[in-house]
Copies of this chain bind each other. A is one copy, B any other.
Amino acid sequence: MNVITISREFGSGGRELGKRLAEELGYAYYDSEIITEIAKETNLSEEYISSAVESGWSGFSFHYGRSFHPQFNKIAVDVLTAQTNVLKRLASKGNCVIVGRSAAAILDDLNPLKIFVCADVEYKIQRCRLKNPADAELSDAEMIRNFKRIDNGRKRLHEQLSNTEWGTSKAYHICVNTSGFEIKTIVPSLAQFAKTWFETR
């Protein structure tokens, strides 16, 4: 099974890149269905799962038993267990691209092709304003605060699940900075890279 994981900075276009790459390669693409499946397994709402998992539990805090745990209480552990089950089940179905959801760390044993997508902050602001009408209301400073909060959560979660450092070149097979060009233009070369990588690994 060829599994490609896309880890990404918020606003860098990683989701679009993953979707286009899956199309180009004829692979399945898994995104929001992962959240739906985790919600089914845990009986929690999709909104809750989505916002917790997407932000690496940033801003979430819980009471578990009599102690206060800022992170990784029973709910988080249940979600993470369901997340692992769902990701492994999807990956076993056939060649696929999985965006986010700590798939690079959780599916490490399957030796996936790990891609990281980043971009300069000016580009991410521009991209978010274009894609999300709601973001158009935010100031640059508010958007940058959002980027930092979400990416710090992703980084923290990645580093709790893996012994590699989120966003450093060493933790992935290929990292791409999408600043300043249309994502669709680079997809054919990444697809070619992926094909070669799976043939020769």
Please report the C-alpha to C-alpha distance between residue A120 and residue B180 in the assembled complex, in whole angstroms. 30
Please report the C-alpha to C-alpha distance between residue A180 and residue B189 in the assembled complex, in whole angstroms. 20
Chain-B contact segment, one of A77-85, A129-137, A164-172: A164-172
Please report the C-alpha to C-alpha distance between residue A152 and residue B124 in the assembled complex, in whole angstroms. 31
Chain-B contact segment, one of A34-42, A45-53, A60-68, A193-201: A193-201
Q: Please state the number of chain copies in the assembly.
A: 2
Q: Given B172, B173, B181, B201, which contacts A197 in the complex, CB threshold below 8 Å?
A: B181
Is A192 engaged at the interface, CB distance under 8 Å to the other chain? yes
Report the minimal beta-carbon distance from A145 to chain B, rounded to whole angstroms: 18
Residues of the B chain whose Cβ atoms lie less than 8 Å from the Cβ of A186: 193, 196-197
Is A163 engaged at the interface, CB distance under 8 Å to the other chain? no
Residues of the B chain whose Cβ atoms lie less than 8 Å from the Cβ of A116: 169, 175
Is A118 engaged at the interface, CB distance under 8 Å to the other chain? yes
Is A28 engaged at the interface, CB distance under 8 Å to the other chain? no
A196-B201 in contact (CB<8A): no
Please report the C-alpha to C-alpha distance between residue A170 and residue B155 in the assembled complex, in whole angstroms. 14
Q: Given B173, B176, B180, which contacts A201 in the complex, CB threshold below 8 Å?
A: B180
Interface string of A90-123 (1 = CB under 8 A from B): 0000000000000000000000000010101000
Q: Given B172, B181, B199, B200, which contacts A175 in the complex, CB threshold below 8 Å?
A: B172
Is A26 engaged at the interface, CB distance under 8 Å to the other chain? no
Given A168-B167, A193-B186, A193-B190, A200-B174 contact (CB < 8 Å): no
Q: What would 17 more interface pairs be, CB under 8 Å, given A169-B169, A169-B172?
A: A116-B169, A120-B170, A167-B168, A168-B168, A168-B169, A172-B177, A174-B175, A181-B196, A181-B201, A185-B196, A186-B197, A188-B196, A189-B189, A189-B190, A189-B192, A189-B193, A189-B196
